[in-house]
């Protein structure tokens, strides 16, 4: 895992501090600040997205029979589209009021990526311990006996939050927020779009215009998350949700949209 994460950090250093050139030990000189503010901002995005997944209106989709649950089907509340549009309105409101400037995302790209990686490790460990110790999300399945491998591959098949009747908010077909589907669509690709928008706003503030390249990035990431959100009701029919695999680290890797959006750093002017 470290062999994967280290090149991601190195890529950001090359892009942000060396204009895309390779950073070598002979010319390495970085003075970067990143503290608890970036941690709380990352957690704010995750918590905000989770709350939207809980309260926003959407379509209820019945999943396929789950063999480990005696072929019982679970219900999935698919509201990614309304949550995505709400996020756009919220981000616009916070930006124009000065509470949260959108360019801050691209300006704090490195610290945000680091905290996202750390948080994904912590979430993976917590989910593994909860599955092993308390059978959270069902009994552990497909365990190999190798702790490192099992932590990476996951042990819990159907982890959910807000499953109580009061949390249903009057909805009849309510089985809670499925964390696997939440982590697969909501957190990463909404953040990827916001990073592109952040780069566009920064470019406009610094140069007074939006370049075609940056406009293309905003359009592409916007169309991508929009399509994922519109087709969310198809996800419960896939193997990754109802049968294979358990809640693995790859699913909850909150840092994956950041290296994907690293090309946005090359488009705005240098810091």
For residue 63, the number of C-alpha atoms closer than 13 Å in the C-beta half-sphere is 26
For residue 242, the number of C-alpha atoms closer than 13 Å in the C-beta half-sphere is 20
In a domain, 27, yes or no: no
Report the distance separating Cα 267 and Cα 211, nearest Å.
8
In a domain, 67, yes or no: yes
In a domain, 182, yes or no: yes
In a domain, 255, yes or no: yes
Query: Between 97 and 187, whose confidence is greater?
Result: 97
Query: Between 261 and 224, whose confidence is greater?
Result: 224
In a domain, 4, yes or no: no
Q: pLDDT digit string (tens) for 105-131?
A: 888 887 887 788 788 888 888 888 998
Q: Residue 180: which domain range? A: 35-266
Q: What is the pLDDT of residue 268?
A: 56
Q: pLDDT digit string (tens) for 127-142?
A: 889 989 998 888 888 7
Report the distance separating Cα 43 and Cα 16, nearest Å.
24
Residue 224 has pLDDT above 90, yes or no: yes
In a domain, 245, yes or no: yes
Domain count, the chain: 1
Q: pLDDT digit string (tens) for 24-70?
A: 766 555 555 556 777 787 788 889 999 999 999 999 998 888 877 78
Q: pLDDT digit string (tens) for 144-169?
A: 888 888 888 778 888 889 999 899 99
What mean pLDDT is predicted for residues 66-91? 90
Report the distance separating Cα 78 and Cα 54, nearest Å.
10
Report the distance separating Cα 212 and Cα 218, nearest Å.
10
In a domain, 134, yes or no: yes
Per-residue pLDDT band for 270 (boundaries 50, 70, 90) equals: very low
Residue 79 has pLDDT above 80, yes or no: yes
Can you give the pTM of this predicted structure? 0.85
Nearest to 123 by CA among 85, 91, 161: 161
Q: What is the pLDDT of residue 271?
A: 45
In a domain, 3, yes or no: no
Report the distance separating Cα 240 and Cα 269, nearest Å.
40
């Amino acid at each position: 895992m470290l062999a994967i994460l280290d090149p991601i950090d190195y890529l950001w250093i090359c892009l942000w501090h060396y204009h895309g050139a390779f950073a070598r030990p002979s010319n390495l000189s970085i003075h970067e600040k990143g503290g608890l503010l970036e941690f709380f901002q990352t957690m704010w995005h995750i918590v905000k997205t989770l709350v939207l997944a809980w309260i926003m209106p959407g379509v209820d989709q019945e999943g396929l029979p789950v063999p480990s649950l005696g072929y019982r089907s679970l219900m999935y509340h698919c509201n990614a589209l309304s949550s995505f549009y709400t996020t756009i309105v919220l981000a616009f409101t916070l930006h124009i009021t000065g509470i949260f400037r959108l360019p801050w995302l691209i300006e704090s790209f490195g610290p945000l990526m680091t905290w996202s990686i750390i948080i994904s490790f912590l979430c993976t460990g917590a989910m593994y311990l909860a599955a092993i110790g308390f059978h959270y999300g069902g009994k552990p399945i497909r365990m190999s006996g190798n702790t490192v491998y099992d932590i990476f591959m996951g042990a819990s098949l159907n982890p959910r939050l807000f499953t109580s009747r009061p949390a249903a908010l009057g909805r009849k077909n309510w089985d809670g927020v499925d964390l696997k589907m939440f982590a697969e669509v909501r957190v990463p690709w909404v953040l990827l779009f916001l990073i592109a928008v952040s780069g566009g706003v920064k470019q406009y503030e610094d140069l007074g215009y939006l370049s075609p390249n940056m406009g293309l990035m905003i359009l592409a990431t916007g169309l991508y998350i929009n399509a994922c959100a519109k087709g969310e009701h198809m996800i419960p029919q896939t193997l990754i949700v109802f049968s294979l695999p358990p809640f693995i680290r790859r699913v909850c890797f909150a840092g994956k949209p950041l290296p994907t959006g690293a090309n946005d750093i090359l488009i705005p002017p240098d810091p």
